[in-house]
Amino acid sequence: MTLFGLPMAALAGQLLLGVVNGAFYATLSLGLAIIFGLLNVINFAHGAFFMLGAMAAWMGQAYLGMGYWTALLCVPLAVAAVGMLVERLLLQRLYGLDHLYGLLLTLGLTLVMEGVLRSLYGVSGLPYSPPASLARAVDLGFMVLPLYRAWVIAASLAACLFTWAVIEKTRLGSYMRAATENTPLVRAFGVNVPMMITLTYGFGVGLAGFAGVLAAPVMQVSPLMGQQIIVTVFAVVVIGGMGSILGAIVTGLALGLVEAMVKVYYPEAANTAVFAIMALVLLLRPAGLFGKEN
């Protein structure tokens, strides 16, 4: 069976890869969006925290014999803890200044984290295998579905939906939405906003760490894996519009798919397609597809 001149199975396989990438884009851009919303910081270090998650999973396995599931639980918490430390010690001093300072600080942090790990482990990919229970594939008839990839998609989407539900449906989320609009007033009401900001940053980068662990078995674990993905994720955020939760999720998935389609039909443009879309969106709707025009 063929579709648009391509065997169905090959097409489906490419689309699956697209959705997997899209799930990572969604999880990462979601974290960027909530951090930007509350802290007004463009967190350039997001890719480095994603990389840190994958590297930590690898180190846990290599040095401590830590299994995948334990890593999936512990590593995001550890990454979140590092993030909260960064927020308390460094980022907190930059609030009220121009965006540029936060961007520069987080860029610097990225270079430090990548540089240290690079000098320790080099740049060639380190092997990390999926858990045995997910290391097989099922034949769906029209395609062969590797179980681990299905798990990545399900787990990322669950994390995104969980985040969305916390922000839209809980009391904590209403504090966050309100503080995003008017921080001083929420503080005047007696909410400990500084604490909430620290937790939000921790949660956002913890989410990146979670994505990093998920990515470890499907991508090359290396100190450079963060910078490869973060550039695309920033494009996703620009296309979706800063500060929109649902926008970040939908755009992330959609662009993963678009990228995969381009890879199938015109591979030469695979790396530029997302940026072409970004340029188009910036021209036609500068606030992004889901952003509010100001």
Can you tell me which of 117, 186, 229, 238 binds another protein, judged by CB under 8 A?
186
The partner residues of 3 in beta bridges, in order of sequence, read 6
Min dist CB 23 to another protein, Å, is: 26
Size of the site for another protein (CB under 8 A): 23
Question: Residue 184 interacts with another protein (CB under 8 A)?
Answer: yes
- Of 131 and 194, nearer to another protein (C-beta) is 194
Chosen residue from 88, 118, 187, 285 binding another protein by CB under 8 A: 187
Nearer to another protein, 107 or 172 (CB): 172
CA distances from 142 to 16, 102, 139, 239 (A): 12, 48, 8, 33
Partners of 126 in beta bridges: 221
Does residue 221 sit in helix, strand or coil? Answer: strand
Among residues 260, 176, 203, 214, the alpha carbon closest in space to that of 79 is found at 203
Contact 144, 12 (CB under 8 A): no
Q: Which of 180, 222, 232, 251 binds another protein (CB under 8 A)?
A: 180
Site for another protein in 269-288 (CB under 8 A): none
Residues 188-247 that bind another protein (CB under 8 A): 188-196, 199
Binding piece for another protein, criterion CB under 8 A, among 16-24, 178-186, 254-262, 277-285: 178-186
> Which residues contact residue 200 at a Cβ distance below 8 angstroms, ignoring those fewer than 6 apart?
34, 35, 38, 39, 176
- Residue number with CB closer to another protein (156 or 244): 244
| Closer CB to another protein, 1 or 195, in the complex | 195
Instruction: Check binding of 171 to another protein (CB under 8 A).
Output: yes
Question: What is the residue type of 193?
Answer: V
β 6-7/137-139 pair status? unpaired
Answer for which of 147, 178, 246, 270 binds another protein (CB under 8 A) is: 178
Q: Which is nearer to another protein, 129 or 182 (CB)?
A: 182
d(CA 83, CA 66): 22
β partners of residue 146? 137
State the maximum Cα–Cα separation within the chain, in Å, rounded to a whole number.
Answer: 65
Q: Both tokens of residue 85?
A: 């430390």
Residue number, 71 or 193, with CB nearest to another protein: 193
With CB under 8 A as the contact rule, the residue among 182, 266, 271, 282 that binds another protein is 182
Q: How far is the CB of 289 from another protein (least distance, A)?
A: 18
User: How far apart (Å, rounded) are the C-alpha atoms in residues 53 and 71?
Assistant: 9
User: Using the rule CB under 8 A, is 43 a contact of another protein?
Assistant: no
What is the distance between the alpha carbons of residues 125 and 108, in angstroms, rounded to a whole number? 23
The region of 67-75, 167-175, 216-224, 226-234 touching another protein under the rule CB under 8 A is 167-175
- Closest to 212 in 3D by CA, of 80, 118, 109, 108: 80
Nearest partner of 79 among 129, 115, 43, judged by Cα = 43
Which residues in 77-136 contact another protein (CB under 8 A)? none
Residues that bind another protein in the complex, under the rule CB under 8 A: 171-172, 174-175, 177-178, 180-182, 184-196, 199
